[in-house]
Amino acid sequence: MSNTAVKISGVIITYNEERHIEACIKSMQPVVDEILVVDSYSTDQTKEISQSLGVTFIENTFEGHIEQKNFAMKQAKHDLILSLDADERVSDKMRESVLKVKQECIADGYVFNRFNNYCGKWLKYSWYPDRKLRLWNRNKGGWGGTNPHDKVILDNGSKVVKLKGDLLHYAYADVNEHLDQIRKFSIIAAQAKYKKGKQVNFLFHVLINPMFKFSRKYFFNLGFLDGYYGFIFSFMSAYLNFLKYVNIWEMQRTKKEE
């Protein structure tokens, strides 16, 4: 990419995000040249709040996180995309880094550390640095991965630079909110992986994998230094893996019995 001033499109997908959307939009406004919100027909005040802040608001049927984010990316005016979830914010230091990119864009994609707020506590170990590629040239790549765990995938040979400043993530207000999402996401992830041909070994995937997941978060990543919520988050991460693989195992059993 050339070292000339570039314009950035800020992109957010939403569904019933009235709690978060205003703060997300306001955090993006100083660094982008347009903000596009693609909403899957929210029933709360997401639309009204977004439109009051002067964004471009588009409603589109939700077919999956990857599909919705790629749709949103394609609607943007500019090729350099800054994509945030509604519960994320641009920190002051991240804002400085993005503004520098606008003046000297030397890479195809930019990575940030994401700092996660879990039930009111910032997790410094168990869920950090949690690197995310959220600023990139859409001509060099787009959203991929496996729903609901989407990620930006760039073309081979693309240049990626790590920038200073955290992307702030206000993940879950309480444990019950996290549990609700785990139940939903475990089913979505299991169905997506099963369709791709994922085969599960009961001993390894259902029993050993969740224990390893907990150990990695709580012990290897020093999650115990995050205190009570470091333990809870590490346990929940393991529980998500357990449910995901149990669901795939059940699909395999059902298939064999047909």
According to the 3-state scheme, what is the secondary structure of the chain? CCCCCCCEEEEEEECCCCCCHHHHHHHHCCCCCEEEEEECCCCCCHHHHHHHCCCEEEECCCCCHHHHHHHHHHHCCCCEEEEEECCEEECHHHHHHHHHHHHCCCCCEEEEEEEEEECCEECCCCCCCCCEEEEEEHHHEEEEEECCEEEEEECCCCCEEEEEEEEEEEEECCHHHHHHHHHHHHHHHHHHHHHCCCCCCHHHHHHHHHHHHHHHHHHHCCHHHHCHHHHHHHHHHHHHHHHHHHHHHHHHHHHHHC
According to the model, what pLDDT value does residue 170 have?
A: 98
pLDDT of 254: 84
Q: What is the pTM of this model?
A: 0.93
pLDDT given at position 4: 63
- Give the separation between CA 249 and CA 136, rounded to whole angstroms: 37
In the structure encoding, which two tokens stand for residue 83, read together?
């994509």
Q: Give the whole-angstrom CA distance, residue 143 versus residue 150.
A: 6
Domain ranges of the chain: 8-172, 175-257
Query: Alpha-carbon distance 169 to 144, whole Å?
Result: 21
pLDDT number for residue 258 = 62
CB 43 within 8 A of CB 14: no
What is the dihedral angle through the alpha carbons of 32, 36, 37, 41, rounded to the nearest 10 degrees?
A: 180
User: What is the predicted pLDDT for the residue at 253?
Assistant: 86
**Locus of tokens 């599909």:** 67
pLDDT at 1: 43
Fold for the domain defined by 8-172: Spore Coat Polysaccharide Biosynthesis Protein SpsA; Chain A (3.90.550)
- Grouped pLDDT means (10 residues each) for the chain, 258 residues: 77 98 98 98 98 98 97 98 98 98 97 98 98 98 94 98 98 97 96 92 95 98 98 98 96 79
